[in-house]
Amino acid sequence: MITTAEKVLFLKGIELFSAIPSADLVGVALVTEEVEHRAGEVLMREGEIANTLYLILEGTVIVTKGERVLAELGEREVVGEMALLDAAPRSATVSAATDVSTLELHRDPFEQIMSDRPEIGRGIIKVLTQRLRTSSALTPEAVERRSTVG
C-alpha cells in the first residue's frame, strides 16, 4: 500500500499535477484510491459517463476506439483526465494490457478540493490548455497532408 507521502511524490512527477505545490497535493493524495486491475480488465468503456481519472503506478494499459488501438500507456501516465472537468461520455475504451496498479481520483471529491483550493484547478487547467494548444498546432499539418494525398 502506498503512503500519502509517496502519493504526493508520485503526483508531483506527473505533468498534470507538476505545477501544483506539494503541500496542496496532500489533499489530492488523500482522496485517491489505490486499485489493482488484472490483465484484460476494462478500466473504462467508450460511451460510459466519465467520473474517474486513472494515474498508472505500474503496468500497461491499451486505449482503443472501436477496434483501433490509439495508444499504449504505462507508468506515470494519466488517462481519463477530462473526467475531472465534465461528465461527458468516455471517448475511448481503456483496458489493462498487463496487471496494472492505479491511483484513481473521482470527480466529486476532486471538485470539493478545487472549491477549497482553486489554485489546484488552475494548475490542471494550465496543463490541459497546453495540451490542447499542442494538439491544435498539429491539426493543420494533418489536414494539409490529407488534402495533398487526396
What are the structural domain ranges in the chain?
4-139
Task: Flag whether pLDDT at 138 surpasses 90.
Answer: no
Q: What class does CATH assign to 4-139?
A: mainly beta
Q: What span, in angstroms and rounded, lies between the C-alpha atoms of 66 and 112?
A: 34
pLDDT value at position 147?
Answer: 46
Sheet holding 78-79, edge to edge: 33-37, 100-106, 52-58, 78-79
Mean pLDDT of 54-81: 93
Q: What span, in angstroms and rounded, lies between the C-alpha atoms of 64 and 44?
A: 10
Percent of the chain with pLDDT over 90: 46
Q: What span, in angstroms and rounded, lies between the C-alpha atoms of 147 and 141?
A: 10
pLDDT in tens, 14-56: 988 888 889 889 999 999 999 999 999 999 999 998 889 999 9
As a dihedral over the C-alpha atoms of residue 90, residue 10, residue 72, residue 82, rounded to 10 degrees, the angle is 20
Predicted confidence band of residue 4 (pLDDT cuts 50, 70, 90):
very high
pTM of the shown model: 0.81
